[in-house]
Amino acid sequence: MNDCPIRVSPARYAKGKVAARDTDNRDGFTGRMGSLLQACGGRWSGRDHAYIMSAAAVDKACRLYLGGWHGSIRWGREPATVWHEGYNRVGFTIREALRLCDCPR
């Protein structure tokens, strides 16, 4: 997880969760890592200025980031999907992407 552009700390107001902050994002828009954190179940907390999620979900997002995957923007209750430039298909689920990802665990 050292190669991922995030900073992880215990969440202040969510018991058993961590706060993952995207350190690569400089312009205020959701970047590649931020969209992967959202796709893996993170929810933005303005109070913590980070995505609140479980440590296992942060690990999944880092593995997908290192594998070159991108998160798709979600609208409403659409399921979370990811895409990769090496595949012609768009809309892989997180489980499918982790199976195809050749990055270390």
Tens-digit pLDDT profile for residues 62-88: 988 888 888 876 666 666 788 887 787
Structure-block tokens of residue 83: 């895409």
pLDDT at position 89 over 60: yes
**Once rounded to an integer, what is the mean pLDDT over residues 1-29?**
87
In the three-class reduction of DSSP (H, G, I as helix; E, B as strand; rest coil), residue 66 is classed as helix
**What's the angle, vertex CA 46, arms to CA 42 and CA 7, rounded to 5?**
55
Amino acid identity at 13: Y
pLDDT at position 1 over 60: no
- Bigger pLDDT: 103 vs 14: 14
State the pLDDT confidence band at 101, using cuts at 50, 70 and 90.
confident
User: How long a stretch of residues is the chain?
Assistant: 105
Cβ–Cβ < 8 Å for 9, 19:
yes
Query: pLDDT tens, 31-69?
Result: 888 889 988 889 999 998 999 999 999 999 998 888 888
